[in-house]
Structure 1
């Protein structure tokens, strides 16, 4: 191991080593994937923002999900598309850190936003008479602010701890930059960083899973006690949509985290898992919500019909 401190501002990016035959397919795949993510999330955002009927607590909290998804996917795809065009095999250290920072903001934000949405559904279904009194605009703003503030504080501390350490390597073996990859460049003891990283994951996962498990158990009990079949069906459909998105995120996210801790897992498989965690949830979340949430689906269909008729 080289113990000499490396102050180079340029890193070698070995995870995106394209052959001449694979450049065009890689560029096509990455560009189309990003355009699909961009289109679907912008459509969901504009649908909520431009329709006053959707200016309700549930949708105002949901609005943060496509914003967060675009943050994570833009951080990844901007670098991948640039690399497929230039095939330089390098990345600026500052760019790498920025990309990693926003990828971790995306990962933490996704969990906390979905947790906030489960809280909203719990109040709406289990305490409907108190819903309007509890979920006021001021309360929603506090909830959304708390989500983003928690993300930036947790991830800010994580990267402060990273940046204070000296580097003695300059080769990135992943397809994108993240905290575990950046720690491989360090030539000092990283045990505190690893412990803090694991604590963040453990605390957010325990909080999110505990909150969602409790709220949805309460929702299921309330639904099965309800004598109104319409109320029961609507509540269960909303919950099924939310749980689908949450489980999708959890599966990809946890598999990626675990893959870093298991040394015998193939590097290529680890890269594949990491990319899928950043491609599939941002692409599927707006589609799932658009198709499964009646108010959003009907609003999109109405808007499209209006534009077609005007055309």
Structure 2
């Protein structure tokens, strides 16, 4: 036991990327550009929602959490990965690894809650327009946001509490960044409970989020087809298509990444890249899909730019 405690330290090694000669710095520059693009776009959405009085509505109050979790996710993972590539380092420290994993899981799980809440809001707005203000009161909207953040904190808190119950006997993370699955593999004890709980919450969140979104958007399409107004149909269909593109992309990448840990023959570099895409693709696409495609958001952004130019 004494020898074992000596070999397991707070310093953990990570799987590093292997690039062809001359490809490292172009990849890093592209990565920096993508990160800064995501950072600027999501910060712009957050600032607009906070400062513009016309955006203080239920839809945007719920949407506020979307760029927030996107920023948390990409900032928790991407700068560290880019730094490791530039410096040719492949290590971290256990407390930082746990913190990174916690932030990544919090943001990824919250994403499903937020998509479901946004879909429900659009369902009420389009299918029950006359009752929208009576149903989506500030109290109800605050309750929805508080509920999904509380549930998210509880679910992920239990996940990492279970992981923390095991003693470590390994110091190698099988990926370019830390997540719960990689942290659990540091243990040499029985982790069946961790695996069952992890798969259960993953499946449960998928079912709940997908069910709410499917119900909401099917109802929206039915309502718009029944009204016979081409403008309403076009708006609803664009909303549904945008939502589906983001959701399906997120689902494919996340499901592959989660299942890849259960199969030994998956290419390690592909696994690492797919894991990074979970936290890289949404922060880049979401501001475009949910922000710039929103007529009201685009109008407020142009108003701000015109005000700055005139000053």
In the superposition, the TM-score normalised over structure 2's length comes to 0.93
Q: Provide Cα deviations, 1:192-231, integer angstroms capped at 9, x if missing partner.
A: 1000000000110010111111111111111111133333
Q: Is the 8 A contact 1:72 1:106 kept in 2?
A: yes
Give the 3-state SS of the residue equivalent to 1:261 in structure 2: coil
The residue that corresponds to 1:68 in the other structure is: 69
Aligned-pair CA distance for 1:20: 8.2
Counterparts of 1:1-311 in structure 2, within 5 Å, are: 4=4, 7-16=8-17, 21=22, 23-310=24-311
Q: 1:143 to 1:165 in 2, by over 3 A?
A: same
8 Å CA contact 1:223, 1:235 repeated in 2: yes
- Segments of 5+ residues of structure 1 without an aligned counterpart are none
- Equivalent-residue separation in structure 2 for 1:109 and 1:131 (angstroms): 24
Q: Partners in 2 of 1:133 and 1:16 — Cα distance? A: 54
Shift of 1:308: 2.7
Q: CA 1:28–1:163 in 2, change beyond 3 Å: closer, same or farther?
A: same
Cα distance in structure 1, aligned partners of 2:62 and 2:244: 16
Give per-residue Cα distances to partners, 1:70-94, cap 9 Å, x unaligned.
0100100232233234433210000
Instruction: Give, in whole Å, the separation in 1 of the partners of 2:18 and 2:179.
Output: 18
Distance 1:14 1:255, change over 3 A: closer
Does structure 2 retain, via aligned residues, the 8 Å contact 1:18–1:87?
no
Residue 21 (structure 1) shift: 4.8
The C-alpha deviation readout for 1:109-151, integer Å capped at 9, x for no partner, is 1111000001101111111121101101111111001111111
C-alpha distance in 2 between matches for 1:186 and 1:23: 33
In structure 2, stretches of 5+ residues that fail to align are none
Shift of 1:7: 4.1
Deviation larger for 71-80 or 90-99: 71-80
Measured in 2, the distance between the counterparts of 1:203 and 1:232 equals 32
Higher mean displacement: 178-187 or 157-166: 178-187
Give the Cα–Cα distance (whole angstroms) in 2 for the partners of residues 301 and 108 of structure 1.
Answer: 33
Q: What is the TM-score with the length of structure 1 in the denominator? A: 0.93
Deviations 1:243-285 (A, max 9, x none): 3222222222122222222322111111111111211111111
Contact 2:16-2:176 at 8 Å conserved across structures: yes
RMSD: 1.9
